[in-house]
Structure 1
Amino acid sequence: MFPTDRRSVLRVLLWGSAAFLPSHSARALTNSLSDLGGTMVQNADAVIYTAREVVTLDPARPTAQAVAVLGDRIHAAGTLSEVTAALDGHPYRVDDRYSGHVIVPGFIAQHDHPILAALTMASVILSIEDWVLPGGTVPAVRDKADFIARLTEAVSAAPTADEPILTWGYHPSFYGRLTRSDLDAISTQQPILAWARSCHEMVLNSAALARGGVTADTVAGFSDTAQEQSNFDEGRFWEQGFFAVLPNIGSMVASPERLRAGLELSRDYMRAKGITIGNEPGGILSKQVQDGVNAVFGAADMPFRWSFMADGKSLIAAQPDDARVIADTEALAGWYGGMTSLAPKQIKLFADGAIYSQLMQVRDPFLDGHKGEWMMDLDQFQRAFRVYWDAGYQLHVHVNGDAGLDRVLDTLETNLRRTPRDDHRTTIVHFAVSGADQVLRIRDLGAIVSANPYYVAALADNYGEVGLGPDRADNMVRLGDVEAAGISWSLHSDMPMAPCDPLFLMWCAVNRVTSSGRVAGPAQRVSAETALRGVTINAAYSLKLEHEIGSIEPGKRANLTILGDNPLTVDPEKIRDIAVIGTVMEGRDFPAQSDRRKASLDMPRNPEASQEFAVAALDHAMRVAHGHEGN
């Protein structure tokens, strides 16, 4: 529900319009509305936060010692005497809780997936990395034997003998092939579903197959492609085979209760990592599921805002009439409310396959000769790009391989020549494998980069031996070259593809230390300051919100993250260890540690509705992870 009081309506108006006007107009509107907002809060006390140091990322004043917040906006930053004077007699109070800490601009979760994160985080996590969650740390799996032992413990601890056990995180490149017989050795009575780390594959034991009514005849009824990507004897379903089996297994994976618990866990996790605003590119296209997400993420006491960027791939496939595609896209704005919203005039498209399953399209063959996948056929991709380009949209394109990047840049160049646009900010998303020549082309075409630096830390060692070879693996996410070329770049986690932890992402980009402890591609390392910009002001720029958030400047939203130390001055290897003390989001305080809140969700309770809900939720999660249409 949208708020109706004048102050909240003002916020909604600001949120939905100012950031998408030309720079001078956006600043003028922001200032004028801030002035109007100031009159509304003239009887409210301002709050002055003092700190050991304030890192503003404002070129006019890079550091400060205090920040004055009036309502939901930053009023001034400077010394205590300067910000007091700037209030010009307005009542204020000094909050010195953070006087021994460091304040930085509020962290931005630029690209994350709440439903996929919710379903994976609410499972039995057995993955290639540690997961530090609000309830404790889940240590990384050492090998296949460790995986089997820990999964056996989880099955034994289940409250009932027939409760489905969902585990997530197994990676065949790290631990070897996993099959139905491996899971049957744990239990033939308890349904067990092992979701791969890539989210592109699932292995079921015999009990899970039986519970879902999946038989050899079921698989024989799949499409030819889905049959090729299914192995009933091994209980393995991947890519289109996974989509084909969704109706059978959905309620075991994505029940309303599991989604609710996972969304609450994801909310608390992101809060603890200092997030003040986030975005999902490729938003939900099921109203029922979006309502469930809104019940948690749209609540008035949410510690951060969340926007959703429409899924252009699915929208373009569903609507053959170019003229109606944009109308269908913009109609989605009515699905949101409270702390959730639709990101205006921005769209998500897909080029090639995922990094974790090594299905990106590469110029030179993979070491084992396997082939990558295209997530959109060329004609469909070109049509989608053209339709949204002509409508003035900013395009965010998922791409992982250098051959995939060639397709994106070719299409961008075609549209620039056909219909030139200034400041289009076409965003290269993920940016795993690329060539040095492509960096220069990105610059020349006016595109920007949203990179996942975790690929290097998690995958470079393994992919240097399996799939890519050492040179391509070590030079994944070549941010050093991007920085040298003067291209705007930002960092994202793609949660759950990496932990939604901005300090950890900074650590990955600055150090490029792999799981074995070596430095991969040292020339591609970046400075701590540019990495901080990557999770603040540059992330805001990639979402066209740089006039509203991303730095500590008068008139911007009062979004602050409070840290135990300064990430720009600590030993670079210790950036990930800095404590998050809390956040201020639009003037509201959110300590990092607090009691978990439970949302009251309006979820379906009858079996038929629950099954429909589960399949819709899991289908969305798979579209996000795969980029497929599910047919």
Structure 2
Amino acid sequence: MCVMCNPAFAEAFRNYNFPSRRQILKLAAVTTASAFVCEAATSVPAQAQEASLQDLATQFDRKDLPRVTIYPAKEIITLDPDKPSVTAVAVLGDRILAVGSLDELKSLSDGQPYVIDETFAGKVITPGLIAQHDHPLLTGLTMVSEIIAIEDWVLPSGVVPSASNPSQYRARLADANAKLKTSTELLVTWGYHPVFHGPLTRSDLDRISSTRPIIVWHRSAHEFIVNSKALDAYGIDAAFVSGLPDGARKQSSLADGHFWEGGMFGVIPKLLPAIATPDRLRRGLEFVVRYYHANGVTLGCEPGGLFSKQLQVAQNAVLSRAGNPFRFYFIPDGKSINAAFPDTTISETEKVLGWGEGMTAMMPGAIKLFADGAIYSLAMRVRDPYLGGGHGEWIMDPDFFARAFNIYWDAGYQIHVHVNGDAGLDMVLDTVETNMRRHPRYDHRTVAIHLAVSQKDQVVRMKRLGVVVSANPYYVRALADAYAEDGLGPERADNMVRLGDMERAGVPFSLHSDMPMAPGQPLFLMHCAVNRTTVSGRVAAPDQRATRLGALKGVTLGAAHSLRMENDIGSIVPGKLANFSILEDNPLTVDAAKIKDIPVWGTVFEGRVLPVARS
């Protein structure tokens, strides 16, 4: 088959806006020496074909074509099933021109000028790694807070060690309080988890300090615990709490200084000005840029951050800079928009599309909704009760969720849904099925995000309904051991994030970190999905391991598919953006236990070669 008749190449041409037919002919001529001789033309006499090619050759001088850069490499993983592994890629501007061996690409140049760049000669090139679901604002603010978490955090500044039990946590919290310069300075700490660190209340924090505000940000980022000084300083009193919506009021405890899920969303406008000062925001977002580039990320996306133009402008100030090594997309929070504008939801959503600039953009036609609570809070809605009783919490109760979902479905939106528990997933799948039966949509790609606890029957149903999955495989590593004893029990804990079942059923899936819910390191996510080793070193539910190829697609082509961007990114094929991650080893063949340790040399982002700065 000729290159112009190849469906993948034709699709690339449809998405590449060349200004003229002449340029299209030039690209085709360089890509293959037989570009216009195809199986479909067998009825054309050979003489006519030869004459046609000669006529074409006279239309332009190849020396006038722009110069191509050819990058040889040790190996290039393309994720193109027709050509899965090659050793050279040709780049023209910000796009991929051709792939193959160095000799093939040189021979196909056919007079067009080119240069061979040996920078990656000993490296492995993969499609650019994608941070499919991360939170730059939340990441920046937590990473510049006092980190006292259940795991080590490896940061550019060094390793922040874990606190794995109550005594370690209390000692670290006391040290954090003691090292502040004044007795009134705010203390913000992130990483607390009651299963590991024991109970914590307002009175406990009052014993740490009664003179400074203390804000403890739960490991889930879905809860706050604050001391009395913070309540007074930020105007959170009985009158304020009583004025919250019913759901938020029920998920608040003024006596304990504890606000979770809806309650957290209720008090965050009071706490955020103290947490997100201009200096903390700038330092945190600059950390995000360095951190993601160091981990090979070439594109990021946040589904459903805080609904605030002021905060978006603050993020743009750093993330939209022209020299940044990646683009970042944002998907609006439909929960907040629908709650504030129930009768004008779509028109208000469309107003948000102008909030991005430069290297940031709001993603059109996409929206984020929320089903149940956070896994780190053990607040997800589950079919069978937790070991300690109860079935979890809703973020959007089923009626509210259905109303918002219906509005966005009818408007043709792709809907991304935060859902963690199997009962939460039942509610989401019921809603999808109802909408498919009343208003069928082809390729709606509703995304089930996180998917901590699910069941085999739900995997089958997701496949039938056309639901795709964005999974966080880090849950198994960080939580399976603890949740086997406290919360879920062994069977549910070990089978969290059942990627094996999804891959065998053909449910499209991607991997995400939800940073800071997991380290924003795509290779580490791939490692977690392939190995499923817990913090104790055991393998949890071996049959739920993803294949290496499936896991690599999960941070590249699968992630692009979940964002409806697979025509531009996710694999190394002609016509797509030249986004590559440059690695020192091959994640498909290296020892599986070492996937997370593969060094990242740098990236190529839209044709720009960007090595990671080494300290």
TM range (shorter): 0.7 to 0.9
Of the three residues 185, 202, 207, the one matched with 1:163 is 185
Alignment of 1:50-65 (within 5 A): 50-65=72-87
Give the match for residue 378 of structure 1. Answer: 398
Name the residue aligned to 1:253.
Answer: 275
Task: Return the match for 1:278 from 300, 306, 313.
Answer: 300
Check 1:245–1:347 CA distance in 2 against 1; reply closer, same or farther (3 A cut): closer
| Aligned position for 2:137 | 115
**Counterpart residue number, 1:423:** 443
Q: Match of 2:174?
A: 152
Give the equivalent residue in structure 1 for 2:334.
312
What RMSD, in angstroms, separates the aligned Cα atoms of the two structures?
2.5
Q: Which runs of 5+ in 2 are unaligned?
A: 1-6, 28-62
Are 2:12 and 2:574, in contact at CA under 8 Å, matched by a contact in 1? no
158-167 or 50-59, larger mean C-alpha shift: 158-167
User: Corresponding residue for 2:218?
Assistant: 196
Q: Report 1:317-466 matches (<5 A).
A: 317-321=339-343, 324-466=344-486
Counterpart-to-counterpart distance in 1, 2:175 and 2:298? 37
Separation (CA, whole Å) in 1 of partners of 2:376 and 2:411: 33
Q: Offset of 1:498 from its aligned partner?
A: 1.1
Q: Which structure would you say has the larger RCO, counting Cα contacts within 8 Å and 6 or more residues apart? A: 1
2:522 alignment counterpart: 502
Structure 1 residue 232: Cα displacement? 4.3
1:97 maps to 2:119: yes
Q: Could you tell me which of 279, 299, 310 is aligned with 1:288?
A: 310
| Number of aligned positions between the proteins | 572
Q: Secondary structure at the match of 2:18?
A: helix
SS of the aligned residue for 1:33 comes to coil
Q: Distance in 1 between matches of 2:211 and 2:341?
A: 45
Aligned amino acid, residue 78 of structure 2: T
Give the whole-Å Cα distance in 2 for the aligned partners of 1:230 and 1:79: 62
Distance 1:587 1:386, change over 3 A: same
Q: Does residue 15 of structure 2 align to residue 30 of structure 1? A: yes
Match of 2:44 in 1: none
Instruction: Give the structure 1 partner of residue 48 of structure 2.
Output: none
**Aligned residue in 2 for 1:622:** none
Q: Distance in 1 between matches of 2:157 and 2:193?
A: 24
Unaligned runs of 5+ in 1: 1-21, 596-631
CA shift at 1:44, angstroms?
5.2
Name the stretch that deviates more: 137-146 or 400-409: 137-146
**Which residue of structure 2 lines up, in the alignment, with residue 139 of structure 1?**
161
* Bigger shift: residues 199-208 or 45-54: 199-208
SS across alignment from 1:344: coil
Q: What is the deviation of 1:433?
A: 0.8
Contact 2:223 2:261 in 1 (8 A): yes
TM-score by length of 1: 0.85
Q: Cα–Cα, structure 1 residues 391 and 436, in superposed 2: closer, same or farther, change >3 Å?
A: same
Aligned with residue 557 of structure 1, among 577, 599, 613? 577
Match of 1:162, SS state, is: coil
Deviation at 1:423, TM superposition (A): 1.5
Q: Tell me the CA shift for residue 181 of structure 1.
A: 4.2
Aligned to 1:541: 561
Is 1:576 the equivalent of 2:596? yes
Stretch of structure 1 that moved more, 168-177 or 208-217: 208-217
* Mapped partners of 2:262, 2:370: distance in 1: 16
Whole-Å Cα distance in 2 between the matches of residues 125 and 164 of structure 1? 15
For residues 199 and 284 of structure 1, what CA distance do their matches in structure 2 show? 12
- State how far apart, in whole Å, the 2-side matches of 1:210 and 1:333 are: 37
Give how far 1:94 is off: 2.4
Match of 1:49 among 67, 71, 80: 71
What is the percentage of aligned positions where both structures have the same residue? 56
What residue is the counterpart of 2:552 in the other structure? 532
Contact 2:261/2:395, CA 8 A, preserved across alignment = no
Alignment of 1:207-226 (within 5 A): 207-214=229-236
- Other-structure match for 1:79: 101
**Which amino acid counterpart does residue 257 of structure 1 have in structure 2?**
D
Q: Tell whether the 8 Å contact from 1:155 to 1:190 is kept in structure 2 after alignment.
A: no
CA contact (8 A) 1:45 1:90 kept: yes
Distance 1:257 1:443, change over 3 A: same
Pair 1:237–1:375, CA change in 2 (3 A)? closer
Match of 1:9 in 2: none
Q: Deviations over 1:449-502 (max 9, x none)?
A: 111111111111111111111111111111111111111111111111111110
Larger Rg over CA atoms: 2
CA change 1:234–1:429 in 2 (3 A) is closer
Q: Deviation of residue 310 (structure 1)?
A: 1.8
Deviation at 1:526, TM superposition (A): 1.4
User: Deviation per CA, 1:202-255, whole angstroms, max 9, x where unpaired?
Assistant: 222344344335566766776776565444454333334444444543332121
